[in-house]
Amino acid sequence: MTPVKLYPPKPEKVYFYGTCLVDIFFPEAGLDGVRLLEREGIEVVFPEDQTCCGQPAYTSGYESEARAVAESQLALFPEPWPIVVPSGSCGGMMRTHYPALFAGTNSEVRAMEVAGRIFELTEFLVHVCHLQLEDRGAPEKVAMHTSCSARREMGLAETGPALLAKLGHVELVEQARAAECCGFGGTFAVRHPEVSAAMVEDKTQAIEATGTKRFVTSDCGCLMNIGGRFEHQEKPVQGEHIASYLWRRTS
């Protein structure tokens, strides 16, 4: 069972942890996440030495390698500000697994302190910023995919849909496989490509069956996997990170 998260008042400053996939494939999603926070009057600090959270190595069973990567991240957040992450998988790694990863080491206390300040972006916008949105986009239907890590590790199945519900011209359509994995799972897609391909095929069929031409997600791994499958199928369904979708419709 996911423990109850206590939410602070809206702070003056936050750290932003951009994630590898944002950095390499979807930089605009990170920039739009920063823009949403700044529009709320929050100063966003981006530690430039950030790299990987260690999740790919950790979920592949290489704990010592994951610890070495994660160790370098712990020193990036010296001030007691919230750490906002535009990804449930990286957020889940840092909040849920860092304490166990560093248990019994000299970094145990620091890891637990950092873990307690981790917030996934949609979670932070809903529960800390209490974000209000004025929808300036045309009416459309959109499907939402919430990553497994956000849904199960962080207990955030409702924050993405809650933000979309604030857009007056958007109809959120429910896909039949809303709670199922898209098949990406970090290195899972590399180690088990046939299984991954079957899973994402099911996911794209479920999204397409809703009649929408657009899906949004808060995780770039899922965005890359589902969007790539639609592109391979030559289907006219576009994917977008929820940060970019919210910013585009309200700016």
Q: In the prediction, which pLDDT does 104 show? A: 97
**Structural tokens at position 209:** 């069956």
Question: Could you state, in order of their start, the residue ranges of all structural domains in the chain?
Answer: 13-127, 140-250
Of 188, 183, 179, nearest to 199 by C-alpha is 183
Report the top-level CATH class of 140-250: alpha beta
Task: Specify the pTM.
Answer: 0.95
pLDDT score at 1: 41
What angle separates helix 220-233 from helix 193-209, to the nearest 10 degrees? 80
Please report, in tens digits, the pLDDT of each residue of the chain (251 residues total): 444 578 999 999 999 999 999 999 999 999 999 999 999 999 999 999 999 999 999 999 999 999 999 999 999 999 999 999 999 999 999 999 999 999 999 999 999 999 999 999 999 999 999 999 999 999 999 999 999 999 999 999 999 999 999 999 999 999 999 999 999 988 898 899 999 999 999 999 999 999 999 999 999 999 999 999 999 999 999 999 999 999 999 99
